[in-house]
């Protein structure tokens, strides 16, 4: 589930590790489904042990720890992964540990309940080739309104489905796509190439608004309680959701219709048929 706001919250939460020296990288004992760690853990340890952490970046839905020799240790949470500097929600789902020294934080942890996430270490050249050479679109927090429209306007896909395409714009997932389209007043099944310039402007402005506010609230912790920030605390934006996971409830925007749930590409979509009319 972690989308841009949750991953950005993780990134900010682990900033105290900047300047630390890496002592060791370890795959922690875990009886659950193993996650992918690349290269093999002994090689990863050999490569980064002794290096200092220069900065912490975010690439779409990934946390990127950059070392002094420009290696990137990349954490991709996927559905249930968390990057932590505090005790994890459970011990049995802890997957990876990076031991640190010369800073108040003693270890960086990767926890994953379902085991769908991964950790990899890339050189700067590998990072540029595998992740930045057109494979990911511009970040949703920095893409301009004109760039945003250009990346979607010729597509015949339904707009909700298109917004989930990370090669078009990086960072938006299922939850925030529903919230963005609701506030923009756009039906999730509207075709991208049928939307007006004004509608694209509204989607873009609402996207920035929703993502910024969700970051301020440190993300959304849903009913399963899986998402936690870097200190193992709940987010707060779930209390601001207007449509997501609220099927059958009255729309808080118009107060005259119930929220509807449909399925698009095997993902749940939530919207109000009165506020988001299909033209």
Give me the active site residues, please. 2-3, 61, 267
CA 207, 76, 113, 92 dihedral sign is negative
Pair 79, 31: CB distance under 8 Å? no
Edge-to-edge strand list for the sheet holding 36-38: 36-38, 118-122, 72-76, 62-67, 53-59
Pair 260, 271: CB distance under 8 Å? yes
Number of residues written out for the chain: 279
Separation of first and last alpha carbons in the chain = 31
Tokens of 180: 């963005």
CA angle (186 as vertex; 247, 223 as ends), nearest 5: 30
- Give the count of beta carbons closer than 10 Å to the beta carbon of residue 49: 14
Three-state SS at 212: helix
Pair 182, 253: CB distance under 8 Å? yes
Three-state SS at 47: helix
Pairing of strands 267-272, 94-101: unpaired
Which residues, 6+ apart, have CB-to-CB distance to 11 below 8 Å?
A: 56, 57, 58, 63, 83
Tokens of 175: 């939850």
Radius of gyration over alpha carbons of the chain, in Å?
A: 20
């Amino acid at each position: 589930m972690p989308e841009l706001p949750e991953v950005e919250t993780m990134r900010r939460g682990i900033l105290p590790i900047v300047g630390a020296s890496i002592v060791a990288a370890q795959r922690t004992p875990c009886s659950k489904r193993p996650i992918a760690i690349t290269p093999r853990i002994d090689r990863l340890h050999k490569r980064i042990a002794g290096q200092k952490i220069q900065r912490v970046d975010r690439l779409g839905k990934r946390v990127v720890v950059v070392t002094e020799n420009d290696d990137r240790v990349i954490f991709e949470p996927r559905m249930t992964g968390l990057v932590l500097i505090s005790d994890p929600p459970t011990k049995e789902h802890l997957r990876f540990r990076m031991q640190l020294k010369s800073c108040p934080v003693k270890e960086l942890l990767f926890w994953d309940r379902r085991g769908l996430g991964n950790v990899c270490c890339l050189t700067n050249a590998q990072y540029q080739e595998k992740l930045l050479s057109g494979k990911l679109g511009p970040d949703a927090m920095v893409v301009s309104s004109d760039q945003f429209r250009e990346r979607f306007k010729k597509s015949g896909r339904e707009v909700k489905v298109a917004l989930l395409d990370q090669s078009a714009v990086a960072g938006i997932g299922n939850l925030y796509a529903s919230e963005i389209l609701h506030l923009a007043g756009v039906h999730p099944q509207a075709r991208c190439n049928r939307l007006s310039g004004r509608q694209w402007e509204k989607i873009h402005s609402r996207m920035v608004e929703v993502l910024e506010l969700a970051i301020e609230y440190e993300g959304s912790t849903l009913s399963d309680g899986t998402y936690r920030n870097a200190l193992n605390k709940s987010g707060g934006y779930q209390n601001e959701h207007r449509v997501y996971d609220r099927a059958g409830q009255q729309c808080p925007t118009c107060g005259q219709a119930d929220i509807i749930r449909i399925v698009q590409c095997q993902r749940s979509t939530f919207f109000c048929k009165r506020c988001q009319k299909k033209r």
